[in-house]
A and B are shown apart, each in its own frame.
Chain A
Amino acid sequence: MYLSSLQIRNFRNIKETQLQFNTGVNIILGQNGQGKTNLLEAIYFLGIARSFRTSCDSALISRDMDGFFLSGIVVQQHIQDKIDVLLEDTKKVRINNKFLPRIIDLIGHFQVIIFFPEDLHLVKGTPDIRRRFLDILLSQSNPQYLHYLQRYNKIHKHCNEMLWQLKTGQQVITMSELDVWDIQRQETGNQLIRARKEAIEVLNDLAAGIHHQIATSPTLMEDGGSSEILKISYKPSMFNKEKRVDEIRKGHTLNGPHLDDMVFQINEIDARRFSSQGQQRTASISLRLAELEYLYQQTKELPVLLLDDICSELDDVRREYLMKAINRGGQIFITTTSLDTIKELMDGARVFTVRNGLIYS
């Protein structure tokens, strides 16, 4: 799968541009603050209909403009799809000139994976970051998952509304009314739990292998590094009927997949709390590479890789490993301030230079 061309209008500091991309490596070169990440963000938006660095869509509209427009041609097994995403008063998505009834149905048409410095928070950060990672991965590989996720979220809101009314005593609510929503929440939630459990098992196998290879590279071993075993496990928030009294007291649900987490351990020690930043960085890269492999296994297509500012954060060992691991013949977009840091990818690459929102190829 690759993005063959992209038209951008009024997105961040990119006013108007039309780009043709390489099916392999595309290097986005430029000084700080010129619009490199903005270009990656536009590409990501075409796949997920949201940004990887803000949840506020209107921040993406060029200052003093009313909306933005993105239009890309995605090629998959020789079939071309035109994807348009526009944001004016509302967000709209068109595939081959037909509006999608729901924005969310876009997901799965253009698979993208982002690698960026904030990935460290996959290991270090709060559980919601890991849940979002899982949700995006599973939605991209399995449309049914997205369907259950949306249903779950809606049911969950209804549940919380009931519990809140019970707590505040605004209305008399019978237990059988609450039961109806709880039963649905469990049924739908269990679908999510099952999908997450299966995915994490696969991700764990993949990521552990990658992590081991990075950690046992000769250079790191010479530096006093030692063999490391990464283990990623699922920590589901299981449904528990006995919590209902507490739920009514609090006025909201206290369990279910919206509270799930994923646990990283390195040599059996909780990586979130006790590992070094370098170890956490290796674990997060391993997870992203596992994501790539997982999507490939599930969809038999290499997703498009977006790498933002990756080199600045990595030492040579991890950088070299990553460069090798991502270069598998799929399409890559990588930002950098200097070509020196990505020598491994230069072969056959196309370079785009970004200066003040203008993109030259």
Chain B
Amino acid sequence: MYLTPSMAKLVHEFNKLPGIGPKTAQRLAFHILKISATEARVLASAIIEVKDRITNCPICYNITEDSPCSICKDTTRDHGLICVVEQPSDIIAMEKTRVYKGDYHVLQGAISPLDGIRPDNLRINELLMRIQQEKVKEIIIATDSDVEGEATALYLERLLRTMVARVSRIAHGIPIGSNIEYTDEVTLSKALESRRIL
């Protein structure tokens, strides 16, 4: 199909986004063509705005528009507790629980030699600095349960265990509200391994 140069460029840019194939890219581009100039400008400036405004919090490396971020600034939170996560999106998930009242630290990834990601490429040194400067009682490691997340957890645990009173790892188990009958064997066996005495 024939596309004008500017349309082709837009399709090409959409196509670069994660999860967007050529067909979807084209559909999005035609959608943009249909909306008003004002709407298009609002969208474009929203994109520019996040790029201009969002930075990393100098303490926890979460994304933020203020420095430090609202969580690090919040005096009602327990700053002696740091939950270490891979991505800012993990914080959003944790915060939805409303249970956790400590701080966070975003590693910005996980150790993955095949992708060339080494401990030095993560915000691990920054975490060590925090531990030296703040009174940290406990580090909760909440990296993913894939092999890279586990390797990162293990690396941190071995690094931190002499520096912090308590280093813990979140448990992997059966999702609440789900039926044991329909839980896959792997999750179920992990849940059994991390069972607790009542």
Show the binding face of A for B, using Cβ within 8 Å: 142-144, 147, 151, 154-155, 157-159, 161-162, 165, 171, 173, 176-177, 179-181, 183-184
| Nearest-Cβ distance from residue A31 to partner chain B, whole angstroms | 45
Interchain residue pairs A-B with the least CB separation, the first 3: A161-B113, A147-B186, A158-B113
Contact A158:B147 (CB < 8 A) given known A176-B155, A177-B118: yes
Q: Which B residues are in CB contact (< 8 Å) with A177?
A: 111, 118-119, 155
Q: Evaluate contact between B119 and A144: CB separation under 8 angstroms.
A: no
In this assembly, does B112 line the interface, its C-beta being within 8 Å of a C-beta of chain A?
yes
Q: Which A residues are in CB contact (< 8 Å) with B59?
A: none
Q: Evaluate contact between A180 and B185: CB separation under 8 angstroms.
A: no
Q: Evaluate contact between B151 and A181: CB separation under 8 angstroms.
A: yes
Q: Evaluate contact between B147 and A184: CB separation under 8 angstroms.
A: yes
Q: Evaluate contact between A180 and B154: CB separation under 8 angstroms.
A: yes
Show the binding face of B for A, using Cβ within 8 Å: 111-114, 118-119, 147-148, 150-151, 154-155, 158-159, 184-186, 189
Q: Evaluate contact between B147 and A180: CB separation under 8 angstroms.
A: no
| Nearest-Cβ distance from residue B148 to partner chain A, whole angstroms | 8
Report the Cα distance A181→B113, complex, angstroms: 10
Q: Which A residues are in CB contact (< 8 Å) with B185?
A: 142-144, 147
Q: Evaluate contact between A143 and B186: CB separation under 8 angstroms.
A: yes
Q: Evaluate contact between A171 and B118: CB separation under 8 angstroms.
A: yes
SS class, residues of chain A in contact with chain B: helix
Q: Which A residues are in CB contact (< 8 Å) with B155?
A: 176-177, 180
| Nearest-Cβ distance from residue B155 to partner chain A, whole angstroms | 5
Q: Evaluate contact between B158 and A176: CB separation under 8 angstroms.
A: yes
Report the Cα distance A154→B111, complex, angstroms: 13
Q: Which B residues are in CB contact (< 8 Å) with A142?
A: 185
Q: Which B residues are in CB contact (< 8 Å) with A173?
A: 118
| Nearest-Cβ distance from residue B111 to partner chain A, whole angstroms | 7
Closest residue to B112 on the A side, CB-wise? A158
Q: Evaluate contact between A144 and B114: CB separation under 8 angstroms.
A: no
Closest residue to A147 on the B side, CB-wise? B186
Cβ contact of A184, chosen from B154, B158, B186, cutoff 8 A: B154
Q: Evaluate contact between B118 and A180: CB separation under 8 angstroms.
A: no
Q: Which B residues are in CB contact (< 8 Å) with A143?
A: 184-186
Q: Which A residues are in CB contact (< 8 Å) with B111?
A: 177, 180
Can you list 25 A-B pairs, Cβ within 8 angstroms, ordered by A?
A142-B185, A143-B185, A143-B186, A144-B189, A154-B147, A155-B147, A155-B151, A157-B114, A158-B148, A158-B151, A161-B113, A171-B118, A176-B155, A176-B159, A177-B111, A177-B118, A179-B158, A180-B151, A180-B155, A180-B158, A181-B113, A181-B151, A183-B154, A184-B147, A184-B154
Q: Which B residues are in CB contact (< 8 Å) with A179?
A: 158
Q: Which B residues are in CB contact (< 8 Å) with A184?
A: 147, 150-151, 154
Q: Which B residues are in CB contact (< 8 Å) with A183?
A: 154
Q: Evaluate contact between B114 and A158: CB separation under 8 angstroms.
A: yes
Closest residue to B148 on the A side, CB-wise? A158
Report the Cα distance A85→B154, complex, angstroms: 38
Q: Which B residues are in CB contact (< 8 Å) with A157?
A: 114
Report the Cα distance A183→B153, complex, angstroms: 12
| Nearest-Cβ distance from residue A150 to partner chain B, whole angstroms | 9
Q: Which B residues are in CB contact (< 8 Å) with A158?
A: 112-114, 147-148, 151
| Nearest-Cβ distance from residue A195 to partner chain B, whole angstroms | 13
Report the Cα distance A256→B154, complex, angstroms: 20
Q: Evaluate contact between A151 and B147: CB separation under 8 angstroms.
A: yes
Report the Cα distance A183→B111, complex, angstroms: 15
| Nearest-Cβ distance from residue A205 to partner chain B, whole angstroms | 26
Q: Which B residues are in CB contact (< 8 Å) with A165?
A: 113
Report the Cα distance A147→B184, complex, angstroms: 11
Report the Cα distance A165→B115, complex, angstroms: 13
Report the Cα distance A158→B150, complex, angstroms: 13
Cβ contact of B113, chosen from A151, A162, A176, cutoff 8 A: A162
Q: Which B residues are in CB contact (< 8 Å) with A180?
A: 111, 151, 154-155, 158
Report the Cα distance A44→B22, complex, angstroms: 34
Q: Which A residues are in CB contact (< 8 Å) with B151?
A: 155, 158, 180-181, 184
Q: Which A residues are in CB contact (< 8 Å) with B118?
A: 171, 173, 177
Q: Which A residues are in CB contact (< 8 Å) with B148?
A: 158
| Nearest-Cβ distance from residue A90 to partner chain B, whole angstroms | 12
Q: Which B residues are in CB contact (< 8 Å) with A154?
A: 147
Among A161, A179, A180: residue with most chain B CB under 10 A: A180
Report the Cα distance A233→B112, complex, angstroms: 36
| Nearest-Cβ distance from residue B192 to partner chain A, whole angstroms | 11
Q: Which A residues are in CB contact (< 8 Å) with B189?
A: 144
Q: Which A residues are in CB contact (< 8 Å) with B159?
A: 176
Report the Cα distance A179→B158, complex, angstroms: 10
Report the Cα distance A176→B161, complex, angstroms: 14
Report the Cα distance A144→B184, complex, angstroms: 9
Q: Evaluate contact between A161 and B154: CB separation under 8 angstroms.
A: no
Report the Cα distance A80→B113, complex, angstroms: 44
Report the Cα distance A68→B65, complex, angstroms: 51
Q: A147-B185, A155-B147, A161-B114 are in contact. List 10 more A-B contacts (CB 8 A).
A: A144-B185, A158-B114, A158-B147, A158-B148, A158-B151, A159-B113, A176-B158, A177-B118, A180-B158, A183-B154
Closest residue to B186 on the A side, CB-wise? A147
